[in-house]
Amino acid sequence: MFSIFTVFQNLFSNLPQLFLRIPVILLALCIHETAHGWMANKLGDHTARNLGRLTLNPLKHLDPIGTICMFLFGFGWAKPVPIQSRNFKNPKRDFALTAAAGPVSNLILGFIGLFCANLFWFILQKTGMIFEMNDAVYINSTSTFVANLVQYTQMFFNLFYWMNVSLAVFNLLPIPPLDGSRIWYTFLPADLYFKVMQYEQVIQIILMMALWFGMLDRPLGMIVNLVMSGMEWLVGLIPFF
């Protein structure tokens, strides 16, 4: 049976990973929202730029609840960038493109994280910093500092990869207030879309409860693993990996 205490136990059982999540979350969420604002600005809506949201300053982007969810569960959201769709030449299409920019930016970041993780591992192998024995991997160093540096660098790249992919997949769900609901605006009749959006706050509470009780863990985990498998296949095509 799922317990929220399991989440805290898993987090605090590995304090280095807990602290490594902080820069990953800040980068993932800030770039996500900046990507929304950048795309909207390119398509003719300068609201985000005028409000100072085209920045990587965390104070401009972080939503307290969404950040906590990201920290605890690996799935979350930031403070939405204000969009005035009437400023777009093609409101429905451009609104959807602006909504998609955030998750796409995280997929790109996830791919970068995976590439860096593989490149770092490749360098460690070629320099003899790591070696395998009895189906286990060992760090070839007598220095505790060097061993920890290698371990936590690899952990950072892996976290950066996984959390960005998780953020992208989660935000593509067609559920308010996530980006996926904005993308669906392109396909739904306007009256139906705005009728659903009237219950955005209620749906958000239900979404938070679903995360809290682990109801989305299995389906989201399956999708994330599928996306990650595709990315790993692509990186595996690089000759020196």
Mean pLDDT, range 99-116, rounded to an integer:
97
Give residue limits of the domains in the chain: 4-236
Instruction: Tell me the one-letter amino acid at 131.
Output: F
pTM: 0.85
Residues with catalytic function: 33
What was the pLDDT predicted at 5? 47
Q: What percent of the chain has pLDDT over 90?
A: 50
Tokens of 225: 């693993």
Residue with tokens 């009895």: 134
CB atoms within 10 A of CB 120: 17
What is the average pLDDT score of the chain?
A: 87
- How many helices (H) and strands (E) in the chain? 11, 2
Segment holding 100, helix H or strand E: helix 91-126
